[in-house]
Structure 1
């Protein structure tokens, strides 16, 4: 089968499987707390780019996959996993808004305030709700994958892949917080963290599940995994660049928040090795960066070569990713994906 064209990057058909999941789960509890949690989780799973199920589905079709309903459930499991990690990530980052509206933390915190509770208790209530809602989504992802309808051996293989992704993603998330807390980390350490935190579950897992469900050969899956690892790191590097130099109206990402949170990004890791670091370090340490601070740091990152270095790194990783699958029949599709998710780095 020839590889699909860019049309394959269209959203995957997972809405029906997700709707069934939420309809079934609604009957598991009879209390107002369960209804509120379940409704909030359902809203958290709405919208978004459906990037992970779209990548899975397009690669699965390109590999010759034909199990439509099974694939839809696998795609839904990927979206539930993403929802779980995003809801938990909002707690870790102290965020109460996502996509311009209150997230689970913000929604439940607001309810507590309306009942007259002071701020600290209200936020704790919101964070508690988010942790619990994320737990439900995570359990749902595992259950949906386990009951997707594939052959038992294939299901076992896919669950092993999911388990690996969860372990590495958890380690990457903790490493991200530690690097910001300690204020250290060289470039190799940061790239490794970004691989674990983002690339593993967002890119490697979807293509590995596609290969497993389609019955692809081991060397084929290995090439896809290497491709996904590199593209996933570039995806996060582009996020680092957007977090410093992007247009907030286009990216939806603040160009101050990474500085204010002391994030150890690829830009910061490179800058730490340059003469500009003594001027940048106090801004990160203060935790109070404003737009004036961000403007000054942006200038320093350009002058010390950090921006150019990181942009070139993204281009090099993208080149390596495309070369790693150039021998596969699916190379045109994977080139499309590389261009779509790495943007200027393709």
Structure 2
């Protein structure tokens, strides 16, 4: 897992991302009490939605910050106290976790999902609450989805505020806000393209562009670049981290797509029918469509009542068409490209080694 290869505390006393998030939500929940129980529950649901994640984005931001800060001898003072930059780094990392949680909330609404990580998500919690109050199922779902949209909006705004309140010099804060703004901009473009592609039989280029915008930008490139900017890294290194992040992000998402069809539910925590039932337009499907055998199983793809036998036929056809092998080759190529870019970027040794290990994990991970 990427988080395991880059896990490192920034500095003693700087606190952790979870501590920053706990304090943030405690303040928001307390403020919400002045506006009624429902609004308080909305913030409590948003708080709970941040629990249980892999924290990949915060770890990338912290890894980039600590590597360049240590290289510049600015991470800690001689008396052992923690400098403002280290505290800022943890708050910056927390901002990326808020963004991630917000995007998941909105993504669940778009997909009409009511469960996340095995429990009701924000939309699901408020839909169940509405059903308990006697609303119809349709009205309850509308209420749940509206609640999730609002919660996601609040967290996106909060992420911007966390960054705007950093102690860093104005020029660095402005650059960080530009990075946050751009990754939100690109993620929305990618999500919009993803919805547009449903049932549209997109090609390889369209799918890869969607992945770069929707996943790679905010999950990999932006955290790496933001951490480096906060630490005062050279502009050319920041630019290289953007490219490295794109390569890693695409490889990571392609592996997710493979696991979504060929993984084991007990390991991944996701249904192995989900993507096939949803009719998710991944590169596996785009490649499989190019083979004559696809026509025999095309009617099963996207069926809400997809059963074991039909799912097995789809998986077998994807594999026999050569689509699985082609995606595996592309994952390997993207990871190799990332490793080459990492080696050429002149990064601090710890960050170079951690990112290289992460690239290899993209090829080998099973969850």
- Relative to the length of structure 1, the TM-score reads 0.94
Residue 24 of structure 1 aligns with which residue? 27
**Following TM superposition, by how much is the alpha carbon of 1:130 offset from its aligned partner in structure 2, in angstroms?**
0.6
Residue 204 of structure 1 aligns with which residue? 221
Q: CA RMSD in A?
A: 1.8
**Following TM superposition, by how much is the alpha carbon of 1:22 offset from its aligned partner in structure 2, in angstroms?**
1.1
Residue 329 of structure 2 aligns with which residue? 312
Separation of aligned partners in 1, 2:246 and 2:96? 17
**Following TM superposition, by how much is the alpha carbon of 1:275 offset from its aligned partner in structure 2, in angstroms?**
1.5
Residue 79 of structure 2 aligns with which residue? none
Give the 3 Å change call, closer, same or farther, for CA 222–286 of structure 1 in structure 2: same
Secondary structure in 1 matching 2:249: helix
Instruction: Output one character per residue of 1:181-225: Cα deviation in whole Å (capped at 9) or x when no partner.
Output: 42x111111111111111110001101101211111121112111
Q: 1:263-342 alignment to 2 at 5 Å? A: 263-284=280-301, 286-327=303-344, 328=346, 329=348, 330-342=351-363
Is the CA contact 1:170–1:197 (under 8 Å) kept in the aligned structure 2? yes
**Following TM superposition, by how much is the alpha carbon of 1:344 offset from its aligned partner in structure 2, in angstroms?**
5.0
Is the CA contact 1:6–1:336 (under 8 Å) kept in the aligned structure 2? no
Q: 1:51-70 alignment to 2 at 5 Å? A: 51-64=56-69, 66=75, 67-70=85-88
Is the CA contact 1:243–1:257 (under 8 Å) kept in the aligned structure 2? yes
> Which runs of structure 1 show a deviation greater than 4 angstroms over 4 or more consecutive aligned residues?
none
Residue 162 of structure 1 aligns with which residue? 180
How many residues matched? 340
Instruction: Please list every run of 5 or more consecutive structure 2 residues that lacks an aligned counterpart in the other structure.
Output: 11-15, 76-84
Is the CA contact 2:211–2:253 (under 8 Å) kept in the aligned structure 1? yes
Residue 141 of structure 1 aligns with which residue? 159
Residue 257 of structure 1 aligns with which residue? 274
Which residue, 208, 212, 226 being the options, matches 1:191? 208
Residue 173 of structure 1 aligns with which residue? 191
Is the CA contact 2:163–2:173 (under 8 Å) kept in the aligned structure 1? yes
Is the CA contact 2:5–2:358 (under 8 Å) kept in the aligned structure 1? no
Residue 7 of structure 2 aligns with which residue? 9
Structure 1 stretch 272-281 or stretch 78-87: which is displaced more?
A: 272-281
- Relative to the length of structure 2, the TM-score reads 0.89
Residue 218 of structure 1 aligns with which residue? 235
Separation of aligned partners in 1, 2:262 and 2:162? 39
